[in-house]
Structure 1
Amino acid sequence: MPSRAALSALSEAAAVTAGVSLRRVQDGKRIITLATIGFVVVVLMQILFDAGLQPYGFENWRPILYAYVLWGIALGFGLVRMRGAAGHRALFVLPAVLFTVAMVIFPTFFGLYIAFTDWNLSSFEGRRFSGLKNLYALFADPYYRNALANMVFYVLMVLPQYAIAFGLALLLNADIRARKFFRVAFLLPFMLSPVAVSWMIGKSLMEYRFGPVAKLMREIGWDNPAFFTSPWIAKFSIAVMDAWVWIPFIMIMLLAGLQALPKELSEAAKVDGASKWQAFWQITFPLMLPVSVTAIVLRIIFQLKLADIVINVTSGGPGGATDTVSSFIFREYRDRSNVGYGTMLAEFYLIIIIIFITLLLHWVSRWMRKMH
């Protein structure tokens, strides 16, 4: 394996070959190195100052933002000095990279730092480093474990949503009357905000005293149609409202996939005497697997963020039966003002999501290769 010095020599040789002098390459490296060292020193100094480990620092993190901008400018100037025309092309990508670092990577790591602090907005003591205290509290929190268990139920509910959406997509792909009207009508729930759905359905239609759905249930024979007092009925009611919003999303993806299928295959199946059911299972469904897998994975990702409907309709009740991780974290911030512990919950959940989605995509990729 080539040493670092050898790799540096190779890059310098490549730069010289590209028409950039060796002096310019060295100048570019010095600019990037000095700017990076300066930026890291300023950030570390501010972190130690906030932690109370040294007396020098800034009152807020605004100077760090200015230092980051200056570091980005120095990085761009150094790339131009080092690579010439290639450096000019890199300048088009550099702003997007810096923006991603500032808006995604930095907040994630800063949140990780906050997760190991004792920071309650109702306390006058401010933020203090607490080590693994929040992590120990997380593992001992039965309400958080309950929210994680509820997420298993909500994620599994994606499968019935997919089945219903596939049926609707097949219906809207068929030659029926008013097909364009039904396509728009079935998309209407997806156009609504989950907050609006919460009040329109959960707080109005399903209201146990005067709601139309409750009155209909009484007519059928349900004496006390309280949708949000029994744990399993409440959880199922939340899942139904969430499905009503998101089934059109899956449906429109599957409908696009169905319209892209060659019609010659279905016509050939008819000629061979295959029934509609056989044509679906042996031709349509296998060909729709890539679109189906994409729709299900995207829907699972959205489902893992479920919060709006729960917060507005049940606030996690009764007794945490409908709680999601996001709604539980929201209440930890809003009701208890516990920023440090709430951030630990969020960071831990982010790690779970990353592991779960990575394993899911790996399993789906292997399964798709076997199918082909």
Structure 2
Amino acid sequence: MQDTSPAAAVRHDKVAWQRIAATRKALGRGFVVLASLVLVTVLVVQILHVSGTITPGFSDWRPVLYGYVLWSVALGVGQVMARGERGLRALFLLPAVLFTVAVVIFPSLFGFYIATLDWNLSSLEGPHFNGLSNLYALFHDDYYWNALGNMIFYTLSVLGEYAIAFGLALLLNAEIRGRKFFRVVFLLPMMLSPVAVSWMIGKSLMEYRFGPAATLARDLGWDNPAFFAAPWIARFSIQAMDAWVSIPFIMIILLAGLQAMPKEVLEAAKVDGANGWQSFWHVTFPIMLPVSITVLIIRIIFKLKLADIVINVTAGGPGGATDTVSSFIYRVYRDRSNVGYGTGLAIFYLLLIIVFLTVLLRLSHRWTQRVS
């Protein structure tokens, strides 16, 4: 009987690879290396030409695209020639790899390149290389560091959103009257665009002269109910609007986790004499921890991109109190027309997000293992 185990498949691949002629392997590898050298040469020449370092070059970036397509074909052919059957199987992964390189890796590298340019759209000189000057200006930009400080507040606010969403999920998971109706009602804010929310609430309901929220606050004794005049009040108002849009998303994920949780566990806890809080803290919360960690990380990722509500309601004011990094970068592009510096700010922020999320994922994984 034929052995179909994974170990047998590995042995078969090894034997098949050894049967490929050495000349064919060398030819396949050389084909890939040659195509790679051509692509790198075309890319470097174009970069040096655009930056003004050398005169020879291309009028646009189209030859780089052609070189990338030819390199992709050469990579597939070279894999088949050098690896045989394993190379054929690798071709199924090749489109995904090439797509990732085209839409993620190459734009990121191109962003690093733009971040080294002094490129102001309002200038007639055009872009020119300025090294690390944008990075030096970044570290001395108080407004940018103020926006980063605001992001700490907005990110920590996700814990409050999670607590409210968990309470709503527990409520909608219980046997209450009109449960289906309330599920639909609580999901309505998530269906609205943040831009619509910023105008509907920030520019209308919370308008300090005639808005209903300001009128109610004035009737309750607040002499000057300006929600976006004082820094902390403005920051909390922006957070409240963003939370109103985002809490339903957290709630629906947690509700799905609660409904998938085995009922026998809760019934066993009741039999053992656990009250409602004990059942939640020692049974429900630990079981829901993987779902909670997942939805919190997703929500933090979206929070780190917060910009639309800030741009439409306060434009970062008063005095940068409500600014986020994304809204500040937007104003650098719009008001200063500084493409190089704005790209440098975005690249630096991206690196901070990668480091932060990597540390967060590791800490959450250790905590999950410790609790469970």
TM-score of the superposition, structure 1-length normalised? 0.93
Q: Give the drift of 1:15.
A: 7.2
Report the Cα offset of residue 100 of structure 1.
0.7
| Partner in structure 2 of residue 105 of structure 1 | 105
Asked if 1:181 corresponds to 2:181, the answer is yes
1:174-323 equivalent positions in 2, closer than 5 A: 174-323=174-323
Offset at residue 20 of structure 1 (A)? 3.3
- 1:239 is displaced (CA, Å) by 0.2
Code of the residue aligned with 1:100 in structure 2: it is T
**Letter in structure 1 aligned against 2:87:** G
Q: Which position in structure 2 is the counterpart of 1:359?
A: 359
Secondary structure of 2:278's counterpart equals helix
Alignment-derived partner of residue 132 in structure 1: 132
Q: Does 2:91 align with 1:91? A: yes
CA distance, structure 2, for counterparts of residue 17 and residue 53 of structure 1: 46
Contact 2:16 2:84 in 1 (8 A): no
What 5-or-longer segments of structure 1 have no aligned partner?
A: 1-12
What residue is the counterpart of 1:10 in the other structure? none
Secondary structure of the corresponding residue to residue 125 of structure 1: coil
Please report how far the alpha carbon of residue 190 of structure 1 lies from its aligned counterpart in structure 2 after TM superposition: 1.2
The aligned amino acid for 2:133 is: K
Q: Residue by residue, what CA displacement relative to the aligned partner does 1:203-249 show, whole Å, maximum 9, x if unpaired?
A: 11111122111111112111211111111110000000000011111
**Does the 8 Å CA contact 1:15/1:25 hold for their aligned counterparts?**
no
**What RMSD over aligned residues (CA atoms) do the two structures have, in Å?**
1.5
Task: Return the offset for 1:324.
Answer: 0.2
| 1:319-365 Cα distance to aligned partner (Å, 9 max, x none) | 10000000000000011100011011111111111111111111111
Match of 2:154 in 1: 154
User: Which residue number corresponds to residue 328 of structure 1?
Assistant: 328
Report how many aligned residue pairs link the two structures.
Answer: 360
Residue 23 (structure 1) shift = 3.1
Q: How far apart, CA to CA, are the structure 2 residues paired with 1:96 and 1:130?
A: 35
Q: Which residue of 2 aligns with 1:142?
A: 142
Cα contact 2:46–2:58 (8 A) shared by 1: yes
| CA distance 1:139–1:17, shift in 2 (3 Å) | closer
Q: Is the 8 A contact 1:169 1:252 kept in 2?
A: yes
The corresponding residue for 2:21 is 21
Structure 1: which amino acid aligns with 2:274?
Answer: A
Question: Per-residue deviation at 1:88?
Answer: 2.2
Change (3 A) 1:15 1:337: farther
Does the 8 A contact of 1:203 with 1:313 survive in 2? yes
2:75 aligned partner? 75
CA contact (8 A) 1:186 1:248 kept: yes
Deviations 1:22-79 (A, max 9, x none): 3332221121111111111111111111222222100111111111011101111111
Find the aligned partners of 1:34 and 1:136 in 2 and give their Cα distance.
39
Cα distance in 2 for partners of 1:196, 1:82 equals 56
Please tell me whether residue 42 in structure 1 is matched to residue 39 in structure 2.
no
In 2, Cα distance between equivalents of 1:15 and 1:354 = 41
- Name which of structure 1's ranges 270-279 and 125-134 shifts more when overlaid on structure 2: 270-279
Give the TM-score normalised by the residue count of structure 2.
Answer: 0.93
